[in-house]
Amino acid sequence: ATARLTIDPRFRVGEVNRRVFGSFVEHLGRCVYDGIYEPGHPSADEDGFRADVLELVRELGVSTVRYPGGNFVSGYRWEDGVGPREERPRRLDLAWHSLETNQVGLHEFARWNAKAGSELMLAVNLGTRGVQEALDLLEYSNVRSGSALSDKRIADGTAEPFDVRMWCLGNEMDGPWQLGHRSAEDYAKLASQTAKAMRQLDPRIQLVVCGSSNRQMPTFGAWERTVLQHTYADVDYISCHAYYFERGGDLASFLASAVDMDRFIEDVVATADSVKAELGSSKTIEISFDEWNVWDQDRFENVDKITDIEQWPYAPRLLEDVYTVADAVVVGSLLVSLLKHSDRVTSASLAQLVNVIGPIMTEPGGPAWRQTTFFPFALTSRLARGSALRVELETPAYRTGAYGEVPLVDAVATHDEETGATTVFLVNRNLAEATTVTVDVSGLGNVRIVETHTLNDDDPYAQNTLEEPDRVVPVENKSAALEEGVLTVELPPVSWTAIALG
């Protein structure tokens, strides 16, 4: 098969916001405990954080980290996680049926973020709590000093404000599984009141209102509409969440997951813009795609769920998906989808970061390693600079059970006007054959190939494991050649590729 595309700096979609390369740390399973935090580990630093994990997080190129949940936040009392550690309560976490020791809380996580070089993004609990608790957390976090809660933060050990700018107004409030789940109308009123109050305290903050937990939710569309009708003036972003996995052995459909993400984003944009017109507003709402990944939810339902009421395990092995090459190709293509919508998707979080559906895995007392999904994220975060460009793709299509006819190849490019650096990101969904892609790069002037990376394997189900942590790594694509303004490259079956030009 063959496909063609054009890279021209004039086909600009929008600036790539660094916040698109965010991730997510939830108090869930072994994400925090025995993930980022393991005081007894040989690599642990003075705060009990694993230095090997921190190094991988920096290599991953994570911009923002959403915290502390997720479903967890809807039952969380943030005060439990501050003050002397020996006095912190042990709580039952209803979301994941686990024991929460609160040894990591706001101060510890802010310190970890500083070490990781990432920005802290906080979610407030609008499940079991409301306006006052959100205000308290904001005062504690962002007010310099001279008030009860800012002075308490100082007494608790952090003199400077945490100065958190991105705030989520609850989590997945459309989901019946959510503690405090409510109707769109009820949530919208609470979110609007909370947002107004929080802005009264700190007008610099940016607020994310909950959109749908996925595009298949029965309330999808209507939820966004109602929520934005009530909160349009109060918020900056609406969230999208989506998880994909291979259902019933249908790899062809799974590889086309980004088609669903494209439609999801475009539907939410259309809904937000229709509310904008209805309200006569001049403001545009952006999308925070603040949970996205591959996650085998069938496995979660059947294997992971803890239901025994006598047992509330500490840091259990939950949602520890081991990713394949095909999963990594999908992750790469979901990043292509996010970049293609750079005009409206200006924040996103790969859910999650360590052990729990994470690109990084750890063993207690043992090593940390990169899952297959680590690579497309790290490379896209490093190479996608400047603006995202449309590429006017001409590609064969194939039929899928889940999404009908879909493009065989997907692609996006980025271009940095200052440095001239340009990168094209490509996905080949062909199960059996390579696809040769021709790229017209004449619009870029005199450029050459700087680096190429292709992720694929003869076995699309190959994985990196504790025993074989480097089984799958991206390799140079030696087929790439650039001559007289035309780049040609062969994309192996089920593969993800990045080619940087400069």
The residue ranges that bind ligand AHR (CB under 6 A) are: 26, 69-71, 171-172, 213, 291, 351-352
Query: Can you list the positions of beta strands (E) in 183-300?
Result: 206-209, 237-244, 286-294
Q: CB of residue 291 vs ligand AHR: minimum separation in angstroms? A: 6
Catalytic hit among 172, 224, 246, 286: 172
- In 69-82, which positions are buried (b, 16+ CB within 10 angstroms) versus exposed (e)? bbbbbbbbebbebb
Q: Does an H or E element contain 326, and which?
A: helix 325-340
CB of 357 or CB of 413, closer to ligand AHR: 357
The H-or-E segment that residue 338 falls in is helix 325-340
Q: Compute the least distance from the CB of residue 180 to ligand AHR, in Å.
A: 13
- Classify the phi-psi angles of 240: left when phi > 0, otherwise alpha if psi is within -120 to 50, otherwise beta: beta
Q: Please, what is the minimum distance in Å from the beta carbon of residue 71 to ligand AHR?
A: 4
Rounded distance, CA 236 to CA 285, Å?
A: 6
> How many Cβ atoms are within 10 Å of 305's Cβ, its own excluded?
10
- Residue whose CB is less far from ligand AHR, 120 or 252: 120
With contact defined as beta carbons under 8 Å apart, do 139 and 147 qualify?
Answer: yes
Joined tokens for residue 196: 């107004």
| 172 classed as catalytic | yes
Distance CA 254, CA 271 (A): 26
CB of 318 to ligand AHR, least distance (A): 9
| Least spacing, CB of residue 334 vs ligand AHR, in Å | 15
Least distance between ligand AHR and beta carbon 188 (Å): 19
| Complex with ligand AHR: residue 79 or 321, whichever CB lies closer | 321
Distance CA(46)–CA(54), nearest Å, equals: 13
Q: Which is nearer to ligand AHR, 240 or 444 (by Cβ)?
A: 240
CB atoms within 10 A of CB 225: 16
Residue nearest to ligand AHR (CB): 70
For 68, 73, 200, 284, the CA distances from 170, given in Å and listed in that order, are 11, 7, 18, 21
DSSP assignment of 350-417 equals EE-SBSSS-SEEE-TTS-EEE-TTHHHHHHHHHH--SEEE----B--EEEETTTEEEESEEEEEEE-T
The partner residues of 288 in beta bridges, in order of sequence, read 239, 347
Q: How far is the CB of 499 from ligand AHR (least distance, A)?
A: 32
Task: Give catalytic status of residue 38 as yes or no.
Answer: no
Q: Closer to ligand AHR at the Cβ: 100 or 291?
A: 291
From CA 62, how far away is CA 149, in angstroms rounded? Answer: 30
Among positive and negative, which fits the CA dihedral 351, 67, 285, 19?
negative
Cβ closest to ligand AHR, residue 108 vs residue 291: 291
Residue among 232 and 295 whose Cβ is closer to ligand AHR: 295
Active site residues: 172, 291
